Chain A
Amino acid sequence: MGGAAAKMELSEISSRLTALPERVEADAVLLRRGRVLNATCQLIVGTDAFLLRIVDGRVHDVRRGPLVTPSAEFTIAGDATVWRRFLAASRPPGDHDLFAFVKRRELQVTGDLHPLMSHLLYWKGLFGHLHAESAP
């Protein structure tokens, strides 16, 4: 993929992340699922990085890198092309869930996974708001 296309993708992912707090705030079911969740998650998209801070299930803030000594409970990392497939509006079988990518080692999940595994349905719902069809 060319540099221009990659930049455009990153910009799109960034704009979806920017809209995430408002979208989660409007999702009462997700807020209930995450009501006792407090955690920071780092997303690494190619060479770029984002920090999502969750407070009581709400997306308190989203910081875009470059980040110096970022602190997060866990990190999800993958190439920009993989994130594009994960966040696409139409996803074929095998590209339809976080763990499908993890199983193929296309997305790597590292760190203290307790906030992720104890709230899996919350995180999957949150990432659902990043999919193209969900984005404003």
Chain B
Amino acid sequence: MTACIEPILGRYLHLDYAGRPYRIYFESAGPEGPKAGIPLLCLHTAGADGRQYRGLMNATSVTDRFRVIAFDLPWHGKSSPPEGWQDEEYRLTADFYTGIVMAFIAALSLERPVVMGCSIGGRVVLHLALRHPGAFRALIGLESSAHVDPYYDTSWLHRADVHGGEVAAGAVSGLVAPQAPAAERWETLWHYMQSGPGVFKGDLYFYGIDGDVRDEIARIDTSRCPLYLLTGEYDYSCTPEDTLTVARAVPGAKLTIMKELGHFPMSENPDLFLSYLEPVLAEIASPG
């Protein structure tokens, strides 16, 4: 038998936000305390959770310099929905999303963190750049767009006669690049299969409607908040052209199109993703 323990620490944060108490699960890896690395806060995709960043948290090339932190949004992963959820329809809004990210940063006393988000997380970094430009060392948008066109009717994601986890996994399966290793591909889909009822659909309310930021991105000031954009070539939800549109609208934004990657670079192929991310992190960490 062989056994080992990963250097990832999981904890729960009790956080009162917008008048409601939340119990938020987060994981972290990398040095804490006086010799803490640069905080790198990672935001998961719609209908998934922080496990997507497992590869990053186990990469010493990253955790040597960064303290990597990923929290599960309320309703996701091990962050249960708040009391009374059973009488509500979950819908993620731009105000709630940006607000809870900032509340989490404040609760953990993260000083000018780097925030990296994927998909809906890649969208919310644009909102963060607009609303809190002085709060971050840098922002990294993975599969980041100002707006996306739908490719199916999202009402299929939440109805009692269709298994929500199976349809969610089927809906996103084509967003994983064909080159992804089978184990990582299917673990990525497993996260979707485990999502709570209506959660993926509720996240897509932000992605498709409330988080549309096309009219505002030209105001992003990269001199105050450096913005890096990395998108997989196989992503047909947030296409490379969608990200290119953002890069063209935001002077100073730095764009990378990632070969042989899709919509979930950090979880579908962590090693390949790291080869694209490490130069970005090195630039962010450099004193100049």
Give complex CA distance A94, B232 in Å: 11
A103 & B151 in contact (Cβ 8 Å cutoff): yes
A96 & B234 in contact (Cβ 8 Å cutoff): yes
B167 & A120 in contact (Cβ 8 Å cutoff): yes
B-side contacts of A98, CB under 8 Å: 174
Give complex CA distance A69, B163 in Å: 32
List A residues at the B interface (Cβ < 8 Å).
91, 93-94, 96-100, 102-103, 113-114, 117-121, 124
Please give me the residue from chain A that is nearest to B233 by CB atom.
A93
B-side contacts of A102, CB under 8 Å: 151-152
Q: Which 5 A-B pairs have the closest CB atoms?
A: A120-B170, A97-B174, A103-B151, A100-B236, A117-B156
The 8 Å CB contact of B161, one of A96, A114, A124, is A114
B41 to chain A, nearest CB (A): 29
The 8 Å CB contact of A120, one of B171, B233, B234, is B171
Q: B162 in the interface, Cβ–Cβ < 8 Å?
A: yes
Provide the B170-204 mask, 1 if CB < 8 A to any CB of A, else 0: 11011101100000000000000000000000000
A-side contacts of B163, CB under 8 Å: 118
Give complex CA distance A50, B170 in Å: 24
B174 & A100 in contact (Cβ 8 Å cutoff): yes
- Of the A-B pairs whose beta carbons lie under 8 Å apart in the complex, a sample of 13, sorted by A's number, is A94-B236, A99-B151, A100-B151, A100-B236, A102-B151, A103-B150, A103-B151, A118-B162, A119-B170, A120-B170, A120-B171, A121-B166, A124-B174
A118 & B167 in contact (Cβ 8 Å cutoff): yes
Please give me the residue from chain B that is nearest to A95 by CB atom.
B236
Query: CB within 8 Å of A: which of B133-166?
Result: 149-153, 156, 161-163, 166
Q: B68 in the interface, Cβ–Cβ < 8 Å?
A: no
B-side contacts of A120, CB under 8 Å: 166-167, 169-171, 173
Give complex CA distance A61, B177 in Å: 32
A-side contacts of B234, CB under 8 Å: 93-94, 96
B162 & A114 in contact (Cβ 8 Å cutoff): yes
Give complex CA distance A97, B170 in Å: 11
B-side contacts of A113, CB under 8 Å: 153, 156
The 8 Å CB contact of B236, one of A103, A114, A118, A119, is A103
A96 to chain B, nearest CB (A): 6
B236 & A99 in contact (Cβ 8 Å cutoff): yes
A-side contacts of B152, CB under 8 Å: 99, 102, 117
The 8 Å CB contact of B149, one of A91, A103, A119, is A103
B182 to chain A, nearest CB (A): 12
A121 & B151 in contact (Cβ 8 Å cutoff): no
The 8 Å CB contact of B170, one of A91, A96, A124, is A124
